[in-house]
Amino acid sequence: MFADAQSDPSLSEDEFDAQEPRLRTALLKAQYRQLERADRSLLIVVAGIDGAGKGAAINLLNEWMDPRHIQTLAFGTPTFDEQEHPPFWRYWNELPAKGKIGIVFGSWYVPLLLEASRKKPRPRRMTAYANAIGRFEAGLAAEGVQIIKLWYHLSARAQAKRTATLLGSAETAWQVTPADRKVQKKYNRICHAGQHIIEHLNPPYAPWTIIPSADEHMRAVCTAQTVLQAMTHRAPTPKAQVFIAPGIARRRSPDRLGQLDYSVKLDKDDYESELGLLQGRLARAVRSDAFKKRSLILAFEGQDAAGKGGAIRRITHALDLRQVDIHPIGAPMHDELMHPYLWRFWRRLPRQGRIAIFDRSWYGRVLVERVEGFASSADWRRAYAEINDFERQQTDHGAIVLKFWLAITPEEQLQRFHERERSPFKNFKITPDDWRNREKWNQYASAANDMLARTDTDHAPWHVIGTNDKRYARVHVLKSIVAALEKTL
Amino acid sequence: MFADAQSDPSLSEDEFDAQEPRLRTALLKAQYRQLERADRSLLIVVAGIDGAGKGAAINLLNEWMDPRHIQTLAFGTPTFDEQEHPPFWRYWNELPAKGKIGIVFGSWYVPLLLEASRKKPRPRRMTAYANAIGRFEAGLAAEGVQIIKLWYHLSARAQAKRTATLLGSAETAWQVTPADRKVQKKYNRICHAGQHIIEHLNPPYAPWTIIPSADEHMRAVCTAQTVLQAMTHRAPTPKAQVFIAPGIARRRSPDRLGQLDYSVKLDKDDYESELGLLQGRLARAVRSDAFKKRSLILAFEGQDAAGKGGAIRRITHALDLRQVDIHPIGAPMHDELMHPYLWRFWRRLPRQGRIAIFDRSWYGRVLVERVEGFASSADWRRAYAEINDFERQQTDHGAIVLKFWLAITPEEQLQRFHERERSPFKNFKITPDDWRNREKWNQYASAANDMLARTDTDHAPWHVIGTNDKRYARVHVLKSIVAALEKTL
């Protein structure tokens, strides 16, 4: 596959000069068209043999296009901050907005390349890395991120020659780092690793292109042509099968909300005593040394007026405010709409030793967005698998993820709505939206049942709690959290 | 000053019940009015005696108002990330947008309080902390951030009693942390420290209020009343004298741009050799161990077409892309306009071991915003002192801050504009704005001269470079950076 590049083809000065103005003009035009449409972003992943001039290629793209709309996303050794989050967190954080271009250097391929170029790559790790990359890229592509991947290649001879030339003059010798010399010895292994990766992770929506790099003119023209081609042609969308969630084959989800016991109650004295004791256990658990390497992610969903706010407050009362972040999730803001759906949740995830509480969550996609038609059918159907994967990445990194569906009966909701309307300081909590949602009770219930059937996983379980009695609900929520923490820590 | 609170006043259940609905309704109304106007944000700083119920007060505000528009900004021990930036960085980062409320817990008063409650507070540190806080608050207040500060107070007796009560029951004992018991012994010192701080840092635009906290009803009502008062009354603006920059007294700034030698030149061979050698020295300097504890901040300003982009590229060619961020600065975006002016620059500052290059910078306020009337006269006049302080905070923390004014003559600019217009891939660089700015040549030059006179400091010097000859300019820029790095490291 590297055959063409291995022969180190070159382009004469004249040939290059003939192409440059046309390419630059076309690239700029394509860039402005993309910016104006703002319906997708472009990620250019840069990888390849060391010394092939990846840095120069990135500089070239910045010089040939309008650099104000290009972000160079260069990742080195993970920082402390990054280490406290799942591996893909830093890539999610830096995703460019629609209309923009991101050039990724030190991408998600680095760990896989390192593993693949070991003397004996460990197959299980290779598979795990590759699967994670596959899911990541498919998810982005489905959300309107166009991905192209460039492999900068040159022969071992050209690599050695280039190093010798640079070292030959004091003016250029500094360009050769100690790491560069080491890498030369591993030329064959890196080639092999690259080949493996290009073969296995080359879907039509995120294709690799090999850029012959021994000659700088050739490298420049091939880079520009590949980027131009991507900007003027829409990539195919990943097929729906990529995103099949467990249980999705079942035609009809069990009616968990309908089967719930809404009559359970707790009297006031029991409530206050149990609440205090549970809060104490919660406080101790999250102050423990063991928790310093974990994090806690709580997602609250449920019908309007089911008591999410009250339940959350009973949790936060037991916590040091410096340890917890509460994220009320509403309709996405402008910059959130300009990014893939899960972007805004990735950005709000807690680092180690911390707690994040989501008052409504990433499940909005399969609830309100599904029912109200804000998300296309393909989008919300795909979301179950994406969400399971999203949560899995958190738990794999040590997070404890718990999800609560607080459920009331329609009669109880009506009563609470009326109460809210009557209170001068609670009526802000009730809006025409709430009444509208109520009319779609069954649609929401059915979406919730589907969601529960598809996303109630071992690693991130749902707790479905009847909240007609607020005291019972609050104690039950706390109990579930305390049990999960005490079991894990 | 604590006399009233020291007597631990209380409010009966009946008195409280009579006030609650009115207060809650008024608070909500005020919050929505502020949200609608979106012309200022409110910061509520929470401090005081431990065990006085600060956490409960924060919970109360979240319960009594619409919590979706309140951010609880709780700061603990600085994280690794935070330690790699100046102390105020984390507070700048978290400032709420206009219309919103931020409750600050673990605020910028914590280091000062710790120092003040030492057996022997070190006077120099006390002054340094206090001055930094004074400047920070004055700057925010001038930018439309309303600040109120609440000191939660109770007597030593009430504090001890509260602890004993909590410890008396297994349901509440967990609320007393080991730190709480320690703090009790230091009651007098903390009182004294609080008194000192309230006396010395109590300007009308960021006033302290003492909240009697032994009784929870009293605490709730006083908190609510103070917040309500702040939201319904506009705080005074800090006086202009607070922001006097050095040299600002001079009526007329020296004409540094007029006196510059624009005829200096460098021939091609010398250029290429010098450039390579300087890039090598730059590359080595930023790869050095000594640089790992520093950072480099480069700001580029100058007339349009003076060659900022080209100069910046000659720098980045010598750098590992993973170590550097380039920030092109244009007109502020919506969320930037909703925050104090310097907010967007604080967010882009490099951590230790990293380099940030600003293509246009925070000097926009005293250049384009001044000339075009985007900033009020008070705003840009104030900016000189704010900017000097901003840069000082960076250099105090180990950053190397260098600023470049790239200067061309009007004739050279005209020629470059025409060149750009003629090139199919450079004409994106020339806009009607550029021609308009050119007509205001003298106004911009005069603003630049004022800026140079007021912000050319020892800690963050300006380099004014004639760029009619691009080669000379690029080499000169690199030389200045290398000299500063080699001198410092």
DSSP string of A78-146, one letter each residue: PPHHHHTS-TTHHHHHTPPPTT-EEEEES-THHHHHHHHTSSS--HHHHHHHHHHHHHHHHHHHHTTEE
Record: contact B80-A80, CB cut-off 8 A? yes
Beta-strand ranges (E) seen in B106-259 are: 145-153, 208-212
Rg, chain A, Cα only: 27
The closest CB to that of A317, out of B59, B64, B324, belongs to B59
Q: What are the C-alpha distances in Å from B436 to residues A286, A311, B363, B370, B443?
A: 60, 59, 19, 15, 12
Residue pLDDT, tens place only, A216-249: 999 999 999 999 999 999 889 898 878 876 555 5
Record: contact B171-A273, CB cut-off 8 A? yes
Residue of B nearest to A60 (CA): B313
DSSP-derived secondary structure letter, B235:
P
Distance from CA of A381 to the nearest CA of B (A): 29
Tell me how many degrees the CA angle B248-B250-B253 measures, rounded to the nearest 5.
95
Record: contact B283-A316, CB cut-off 8 A? no
In this prediction, residue A240 carries a pLDDT of 81
DSSP-derived secondary structure letter, A11:
-
In this prediction, residue A234 carries a pLDDT of 86
Record: contact A171-B280, CB cut-off 8 A? yes
In this prediction, residue B95 carries a pLDDT of 97
The closest CB to that of B63, out of A72, A313, A335, belongs to A313
Q: How many CB pairs under 8 A join A and B?
A: 136
Q: How confident is the model at residue A126 (pLDDT cuts 50, 70, 90)?
A: very high
Average pLDDT over chain A, rounded to whole? 94
Between residues A211 and A1, the one the model is more confident about? A211
Q: How far apart are CA B59 and CA A359, in angstroms?
A: 16
Distance from CA of B248 to the nearest CA of A (A): 34
| Contact residues, chain B, for A66 at CB < 8 Å | 428
| Contact residues, chain B, for A354 at CB < 8 Å | none
Q: How far apart are CA A451 and CA A465, in angstroms?
A: 15
What lies within 8 Å, CB to CB, of B336 at 6+ separation is: B343, B344
Distance from CA of A71 to the nearest CA of B (A): 9
Residue of B nearest to A64 (CA): B425
CATH number of A242-488: 3.40.50.300
Record: contact B322-A283, CB cut-off 8 A? no
In this prediction, residue A184 carries a pLDDT of 74
Tell me how many degrees the CA angle A312-A316-A318 measures, rounded to the nearest 5.
130
Q: How confident is the model at residue A3 (pLDDT cuts 50, 70, 90)?
A: confident
Mean per-residue pLDDT, A199-228: 97
* Fold of the domain built from segment(s) B241-488: Rossmann fold (3.40.50)
Q: How confident is the model at residue A299 (pLDDT cuts 50, 70, 90)?
A: very high
Asked whether the predicted pLDDT for residue A319 surpasses 60, the reply is: yes
- Mutation for testing the B interface, residue in A65, A171, A172, A338 having most B CBs under 10 Å: A171
| Contact residues, chain B, for A178 at CB < 8 Å | none
| Contact residues, chain A, for B59 at CB < 8 Å | 313, 316-317
Mean per-residue pLDDT, A416-426: 92
Mean per-residue pLDDT, A57-73: 94
In this prediction, residue B179 carries a pLDDT of 76
Q: What are the C-alpha distances in Å from B469 to residues B89, B256, B266, B312?
A: 39, 18, 7, 15
Q: How far apart are CA B77 and CA A195, in angstroms?
A: 47
Beta-strand ranges (E) seen in B295-416 are: 295-302, 324-328, 355-359, 399-407
Record: contact B170-A321, CB cut-off 8 A? no
Closest of A405, A299, A403 to residue A356, by C-alpha: A299
Residue pLDDT, tens place only, A322-370: 999 999 999 999 999 999 999 999 999 999 999 999 999 999 999 999 9
Within its chain, how far is the Cα of B131 from the centroid?
Answer: 14
Mean per-residue pLDDT, A441-466: 97
Which residues of chain B register pLDDT less than 70? Answer: 245-251
Distance from CA of B170 to the nearest CA of A (A): 7
Q: What DSSP element (H or E) covers A276?
A: helix A268-287
In this prediction, residue A182 carries a pLDDT of 76
| Contact residues, chain A, for B322 at CB < 8 Å | 74-76, 105-106
The 3-state DSSP class for residue B295 equals: strand
Q: How confident is the model at residue A180 (pLDDT cuts 50, 70, 90)?
A: confident
Record: contact B59-A106, CB cut-off 8 A? no
| Contact residues, chain A, for B320 at CB < 8 Å | 55, 74, 76
Residue of B nearest to A167 (CA): B280
| Contact residues, chain B, for A281 at CB < 8 Å | 174
Record: contact B276-A171, CB cut-off 8 A? yes
> Scanning the structure block, which residue is given the tokens 């959300």?
A143
Q: Would you say the CATH fold of A242-488 matches that of A3-238?
A: yes
In this prediction, residue B241 carries a pLDDT of 79
- Mutation for testing the A interface, residue in B322, B351, B358 having most A CBs under 10 Å: B322
In this prediction, residue B246 carries a pLDDT of 59
Distance from CA of B276 to the nearest CA of A (A): 4
| Contact residues, chain B, for A284 at CB < 8 Å | 174
Distance from CA of A149 to the nearest CA of B (A): 18
Q: What are the C-alpha distances in Å from A266 to residues A175, B360, B419, B442, B465?
A: 72, 63, 81, 78, 77
Closest of A428, A174, A424 to residue B24, by C-alpha: A424
Distance from CA of B357 to the nearest CA of A (A): 13
In this prediction, residue B388 carries a pLDDT of 96
In this prediction, residue A14 carries a pLDDT of 97
Residue of A nearest to B322 (CA): A74
Record: contact A322-B21, CB cut-off 8 A? no
Closest of A449, A401, A453, A450 to residue A86, by C-alpha: A401
| Contact residues, chain A, for B28 at CB < 8 Å | 425, 428
Q: What CATH architecture is A3-238?
A: 3-Layer(aba) Sandwich (3.40)
Q: Indicate the domain borders of chain B.
A: 3-237, 241-488
* Fold of the domain built from segment(s) B3-237: Rossmann fold (3.40.50)
A393-403: string of b/e by CB count within 10 Å (b at 16+)?
A: bbbebebbbbb
Tell me if B52 sits within 8 A of B220, measured CB to CB: no
Record: contact A424-B25, CB cut-off 8 A? yes
- Mutation for testing the A interface, residue in B60, B66, B321 having most A CBs under 10 Å: B321
The closest CB to that of A424, out of B21, B32, B324, belongs to B21
Distance from CA of A176 to the nearest CA of B (A): 10
| Contact residues, chain B, for A287 at CB < 8 Å | 177
| Contact residues, chain A, for B24 at CB < 8 Å | 424-425
Mean per-residue pLDDT, A202-213: 97
| Contact residues, chain A, for B67 at CB < 8 Å | 309, 326, 328
In this prediction, residue B249 carries a pLDDT of 54
In this prediction, residue A247 carries a pLDDT of 55
Record: contact B67-A24, CB cut-off 8 A? no
Residue of B nearest to A166 (CA): B276
Record: contact B25-A425, CB cut-off 8 A? yes
